[in-house]
Structure 1
Amino acid sequence: MSEDVSAEVTGKEASGAGTRAEPEPRGREADPGRGHTIVVGAGMAGLAAADRLAEQGERVTVLEARSRTGGRIHSVHTWDGTTLDAGASWMRGQENNPLSRLVDEVGARTAVFNRSTETAYDPKGRRLLFDRHTRNMEDVNLLHEHMYWATVGASPEESMEDGIKHALYDVNLVRSRARDAAEIVHRIAEADHGADAEEVAFSAVASVHEFSGDDVVFPEGMSQLTDYLARGLDVRMEHVVLSVSHDDRGASVRVETPDGEETLTADRVLVTLPLGVLQAGQVDFTPELPADKRDAVRRLGNGRLEKLFLRFDDVFWGDAEVLVHLGTEEGAWFHWFAGQNVLGEPILVSRNGGNAARFLAGMDDGDVVAHAMASLRGMFKKAPDPIDHYLTHWMDDPFARGGFSFTAVGAGDEDRRALGAPVGDRVFFAGEATDIEHTATVHGALLSGRREAERILSLD
């Protein structure tokens, strides 16, 4: 394994959170003037809301279908103590990010991928010269800039594919430069949105507001953050919500538990179900949800993104922490992230979104690993077989049914606004799909949960 540790590591040296005593119970009784809120879902949005409500004296009951908290944040502890973030894993920009304060409060260790070591390979597996890859990325940045400004006045029916074609024409890229830049832009779109450029609204290019600073990951897992928010709360695991009802007297939630069905009542309910679960109609609402909210659920896109982790005996890819492979079959295995510096183990991670994820979904796990290794051996002919692997299946998870939301062609900010709007003062909605400026991000989920907590607290 390479001894050149180039990743910048910050935070506590040990396991981040350290050893803590059993937390004091929180949110078990309502303070005078406060009420009782049932929170559906123990992901980032639900726990951020529950944490804030409990701190302000609200009684809170959190219902979680799984046997763990975190939702689409899922840190898997495996491989002799290595932690793999199977779901969300990146904090996008440290500076002024609302997640940063939580990270500091938890004491979670973070690490920056050293992108200066990014290495690219052409479709035949030949390593691109540094100048060639630098030029490609300059072309990509130029395309993104033209796409950003072209979104002004774009119609809801225009796709990102339309925007890419216009930008290629505007900047007059030709031949190999146009081919490489277009491919990279497409692969970035698939990873960012979990969908193909033809599916994503062109307006989405300018809709996401990013924070400055480094993008960081969590060597001991992002679940530290949700574990911290859940401390002392009444979180009821393996409680699968079947229906949500409300009237002028209050709200009720019917759940399937290991001991059978039961109905819980409260003053109000906060729903933080993923968009894919809402689209699947797994939870009944009585009365029926308003028409604009139902339309928003239908119009917004549900992104598909899966990860493959491969563990090897040794590092065979050199010092690079990011590998780019152009011209792969169906766009699969375009990006590889190397974990030798961040995780301390010879691990490669690849994310596949949109078409690439659909292509791989038709294979069993063994075939997916074999396909990945065939692609890797296109760059490294003598690459050994992995000694282990971990493959995600978020689309098959009944409590996720996808990776994250995206703005589909025909949808817009008004749909996210409608999705996040409360139904009277009884049923509230949070989650990354309800946030306009920070969709498909952990900090977007965090902000949405806190938004609804403040809305609920303003009622009492």
Structure 2
Amino acid sequence: MQEDVGAEITEEPVEGDTAPEPRGREAAPGRGHTLVIGAGMAGLSAADRLAEAGERVTVLEGRARTGGRIHTFREWDGATLDAGASWMRGEENNPLADLVRSLGLRTAVFNRSTETAYDPKGRRLLFDRHRRNMEDVNLLHEHMYWANIGAGSQESMEQGIDQALYDANLVRARARDAKEIVHRMVEGDHGADAEEVSFEAVGALHEFSGDDVVFPDGMGQITDHLARGLDVRLEHVVLEVSHGEDGVSVRVDTPDGEETLTADRVVVTLPLGVLKAGQVDFRPELPEDKRLAIERLGNGRLEKLFLRFDEVFWGDAEVLVHLGTEHGAWFHWYAGQRVLGVPVLVSRNGGAPARFLAKMSEGEVVEHAMASLRTMFRKAPDPVDHHLSAWTDDPFARGAFSYTAVGSGDGDRVALRASVDDRLFFAGEATEIEHIATVHGALLSGLRAADMVLEAQG
């Protein structure tokens, strides 16, 4: 997963701010009442489709906001930040792109043409050297793609990388640089180390063609739109989900105390990390294959740091690559001034680098980041502000996104998405096979779960 913030911004008018008409408050003839747990992309896309089909829908969200792992942060004057999910991968034939276009949202095309790389001592690499490194990385990916056809579920990405290095005959400095870059890419794509990720995950994901884009005004606009007019109950923390022949009941903790809501069925869009933590009791307990899937699938760790400065000191480069950093932290920096309108650098750390930084206080993380930046830019000034995400510590996320861990596979995601007695339905990016760890995957999973609910009603 590579996240760039280049220019080429499309701008169209956004729908007005008039109060939306209530939706999904009453059931149409032949429809019933569905509770949706979670007001992220999966939950809101399911609720939106169900409401449009005449279902009565009640959305329960533990946070004081909608969006889930999409969190548009607007507290910085003059800048809008997406502290969580922030980009759309591939515009062509992507259902998320269709929705974005229908809303007329501004988008900015990713741009890697000004990527600049630095060695461990902060010396800028010659263009030909960096281009050769990326050609070597592409060569490794090609060997890994074909090698993984016969891979077993117990083989790791690390084993695949080592085999690819051998097959590609890369040695010495070229092998070192290519291996480091691939490792950082694995950490960013999966939120885990190469030793933790199944080698089968290579080539298993479907990518849409076309441009990859970000949202200058925030991805939260999409979930805001899906939530319009719905009965969304914020600060309703789900404690227990029960089901039987008569329907479902969900016990929640609210600002006014505990209460129990009843309905015909429930769509569960809890993140994998929350399911792993056992924060919600299911009565009767979930089927064994679903419990094993929750246990086997990996839960990725990935955090973002935004640094705001008074002025741009990094030149025209929109992507900075820093090889040989301590524990692999701060490998990628993305310059956001063209999209965000202010001098901002953004870095993402996943897997081992994220765990390394998690041992520090927030102030120490910023200091460590600045020390790394000053290896490349000796006179870099102190930031005037910063924002550090904390998805792993968020009780309603418990991580960034799922990944296919060693020992797990597509069968676990199939088990996770399966309905239970036509009462419990499941959605979320972790229930996807080809579109895991993506916003469009969450969208597709919610639409799928809604269709299953509607089909179950006959």
Q: What 5-or-longer segments of structure 2 have no aligned partner?
A: none
Q: Which residue is 1:346 aligned to? A: 343
In structure 2, the residue corresponding to 1:101 is in which secondary structure? Answer: helix
Q: Which residue is 1:316 aligned to? A: 313
* 1:334 paired to 2:331: yes
Q: Which residue is 1:7 aligned to? A: 7
- Length, aligned pairs only: 453
Counterparts of 1:81-120 in structure 2, within 5 Å, are: 81-120=78-117
Deviation, 1:6, is 6.4
Q: Which residue is 2:266 aligned to? A: 269
Deviations along 1:314-337, whole A, 9 cap, x unmatched? 000001110000000000000000
2-structure distance, mates of 1:255, 1:202: 40
Counterparts of 1:55-454 in structure 2, within 5 Å, are: 55-454=52-451
2-structure distance, mates of 1:219, 1:446: 20
Q: Which residue is 1:40 aligned to? A: 37
Deviations along 1:181-219, whole A, 9 cap, x unmatched? 000000000000000000000000121111111111001
Deviations along 1:365-409, whole A, 9 cap, x unmatched? 000000000000010001000000000010100000000000000
Question: Is the 1:245–1:253 contact (alpha carbons within 8 Å) kept by the matching residues of 2?
Answer: yes
Letter in 2 for 1:459: A
Letter in 2 for 1:372: A
Letter in 1 for 2:161: I
Question: Is the 1:306–1:392 contact (alpha carbons within 8 Å) kept by the matching residues of 2?
Answer: yes
Deviation, 1:104, is 1.0
Deviations along 1:415-436, whole A, 9 cap, x unmatched? 0000000001100000000000
Deviation, 1:128, is 0.6
Question: Is the 1:17–1:224 contact (alpha carbons within 8 Å) kept by the matching residues of 2?
Answer: no
The worse-fitting range, judged by mean Cα deviation, of 62-71 and 89-98 is 89-98
Percent of aligned positions with the same letter in both sequences?
76
Question: Is the 2:250–2:260 contact (alpha carbons within 8 Å) kept by the matching residues of 1?
Answer: yes
Q: Which residue is 1:455 aligned to? A: 452
2-structure distance, mates of 1:232, 1:277: 27
Question: Is the 1:113–1:342 contact (alpha carbons within 8 Å) kept by the matching residues of 2?
Answer: no
TM-score (normalised: structure 1): 0.98
Letter in 1 for 2:251: R
Q: What 5-or-longer segments of structure 1 have no aligned partner?
A: none
Deviations along 1:157-194, whole A, 9 cap, x unmatched? 00000000000000001111111000000000000000
Question: Is the 1:331–1:356 contact (alpha carbons within 8 Å) kept by the matching residues of 2?
Answer: yes
Letter in 1 for 2:48: D
Deviation, 1:20, is 2.1
TM-score (normalised: structure 2): 0.98
2-structure distance, mates of 1:113, 1:121: 21
Letter in 2 for 1:30: A
In structure 2, the residue corresponding to 1:341 is in which secondary structure? Answer: helix
Letter in 2 for 1:9: I
RMSD of aligned alpha carbons: 0.9
